[in-house]
A and B are shown apart, each in its own frame.
Chain A
Amino acid sequence: MDAFGLALGLVLNFETLATILLAAMFGLFVGAIPGLTATMATALLVPITFYMAPIPAIAAIISCTAMAITAGDLPGTLLRIPGTPASAAYVEDSYRMAQNGQAGMAIGIGVIGSVLGGLFGFVFLLFAAPALAKAALGFSSFEYFWLAVLGLSCAALISSGGLAKGALALLLGLFISQVGLDPLTATPRFTFGLTELFGGISFIPTMIGMFAVGEVMRAGRRAMAEVPQMNLKNPFKGTLAVLWKYRVNQVRGSVIGSLLGALPGVGGDLAAWITYSLAKRTSKTPEKFGKGHPEGLVEAGATNNAALSASWIPAMVFGIPGDAVTAIAVGVLVMKGLDPGPTLMTNNPQNFYAVMIVFAIANILMLPLGYLAAKTARWIFEVPRALLNAAILLFCIVGSYSINNSMFGVYVMLIMGVLAFFLEARSIAIAPIILGIVLGPLVESNFTTSMIIADGNFMGFFGRPVAAVLGVATLLIWTLAIGGSLYRTARQRRALTP
């Protein structure tokens, strides 16, 4: 309890509170701009944290990330350019809702659902962190491998183009993630002699190209149709009623998000895909998913922020980041001498609790700032499409350049944009590609480690109880999906035969 009191003192002072507010507004601004991501906002903030005390520094990262991720739902909802891989899971629904005049409600679900999910994750993990972390520590590469494959499978199988196209999108993402030096032997793979590719294909230019550039190219193809005026006069109107209607999804999304987010190396992206898939499979109206239905949006949105809160636990307790953002945060913790790891909980528990309190404040702050973001986002509609296109593309070029201060990122962005443009035109979803790129290294490293442990015997992947359950579940999902696809093809052939 003493530690908690000390933690309150560390957070409830002018410097930390002002930092939280300013960083949240910065996150809101960057997150709401199409083509700029929460990861980029966090990375750009790191040099500024050099000049701060440890707790305000980490508070800046936390509040900026939480707000940027929530604000990232705005371009997703309004322009179909998701701010994060997690929001890509439900971008089709939120965008269609906006097209149907429910933009305010879609944003409201994202913001309020995220706040509730984030607070759930905070409360749950504040008390359950030690036990959950202990359980996650017991996981080996086998469990991580199956968990990641299960998530990737869900992403591929729920994509709109069908089984083969979903699988191809996923495999393309996995292939892109393999470009660069092999993590085991440092052998250059698929680099074609280009030294710029030795470090791999940067995720941010890829994401900007696939979602932003491809979208601008497509928008032009639709004869620059006017974006309909969305109902954003009263953001959040009717949101509570929808959240209450889908309260089971809200709670389930929060619980699963908290549990999956707490696993080192998993993070929120995978969790949102899993719960979106789960919501679709358990829904009474699965045919409405992807067409502007709020059910998946509620569940995956809650998961997103619950997992975001939870993903900081392994980063803090074990020093193992769950995603790019927490990886940056771990760097800041080390830089500030906080040394993330088990000793943080035993030697300096006030720092751990301070981070938890910052999380609670950042989540609560999302309500007023989310409302403000929704209101100010209207300019996106009111700016003529011609000006919007120019601004988006300029931001894309600068954003891709700023990752390594090199034009190579811009070339990557352009190639990926063209690729996405052609693939989407043939109903191949982009989101599984992005997820494949993000989780590819995790899948490969755990697969390689497991193969070494099992001495090449694939049955070894089922040798541990949890791994066996996850492995069988993954294989079962693929079997059912392939069986269903064959059945549908046979039925269509019969229907077409005179």
Chain B
Amino acid sequence: MKSVIPMDSVLGVLFAAGGTAILINALGYAPIAGMVVGPGLFPTITGAGMALFGLILAVQGWLGRAAARAEPAEPLITLFAVGIVVAILVATLLMPMLGFLIAGTVFAAVIVLMSGGKWLSAIIFSPIATFAIYALFTYGFRVPLPRGLLG
């Protein structure tokens, strides 16, 4: 039988490590001279709490590993989820250069296709939705969206 580290234990260790990092960082903030408080006091409590509960979760996960193994495993990272993240990241990087109208239209078309939509839907819907949102925010709410190449 293969040995698997329970995901809750992994998550618990990550939280414990994060909490410890917060704690160490917080202890480095100089307190206010002559006072019991300082900028590091509340983060110290938060970091310590996170480290403690992280350890508790790690132990709980380890103790409950038999039950966790019995659960049907669902794939956590999917191509769709990764695609969404990459699409938003690329759109965000390109938007100041290309402008919202161009980058938004391409982005919307990509999301429609990734979500199982048809080419025709993507071609018709994406420019209309992008322009409607652009008009709403630019003319309705006076938000200066990036104009990029069309500027």
Contacts and interface: CB of A to CB of B under 8 A. Distances in A.
* Size band of the interface chain A makes with B: 35 or more
A402 interface: yes
A47 interface: yes
A386 B42 contact: no
B121 A410 contact: no
A246 interface: no
Interface in A153-212: 162, 164-165, 167-168, 171-172, 174-175, 178, 182, 184-185, 187, 189-190
B39 A182 contact: yes
Chain B interface secondary structure, helix, strand, loop or mixed? helix
Contact of B76 (A216, A407, A425): A425
A426 B11 contact: yes
A414 B87 CA distance: 11
B36 A390 contact: no
Nearest to B142: A47
B92 A398 contact: no
Interface in B87-109: 87-89, 91-92, 95-96, 100, 104, 107-109
Given A402-B141, A410-B88, A217 B35 contact: no
Nearest to A221: B78
B143 A405 contact: yes
Contacts of A489: 60, 63
Interface residues of B, number: 72
Contacts of A182: 29, 39
A444 B88 CA distance: 34
B43 A189 contact: yes
A287 interface: no
Contacts of B104: 394, 397
B53 A164 contact: yes
Given A387-B112, A405-B144, A456-B36, A213 B88 contact: yes
Interface of A: 44, 47, 162, 164-165, 167-168, 171-172, 174-175, 178, 182, 184-185, 187, 189-190, 213, 216-218, 220-221, 224, 384-387, 389-391, 393-395, 397-398, 401-402, 405, 407, 410-411, 414, 417-418, 421-422, 425-426, 428, 443-444, 447-448, 451-452, 455-456, 489, 492-493, 496
5 contacts: A165-B57, A184-B39, A189-B29, A220-B78, A387-B125
Interface of B: 7-8, 11-12, 15, 19, 22, 25-26, 29-30, 32, 35-39, 41-43, 46-47, 49-50, 53-54, 56-57, 60, 63-64, 66-67, 74-76, 78, 80-81, 84-85, 87-89, 91-92, 95-96, 100, 104, 107-109, 111-117, 121, 125-126, 129-130, 133, 137, 141-145
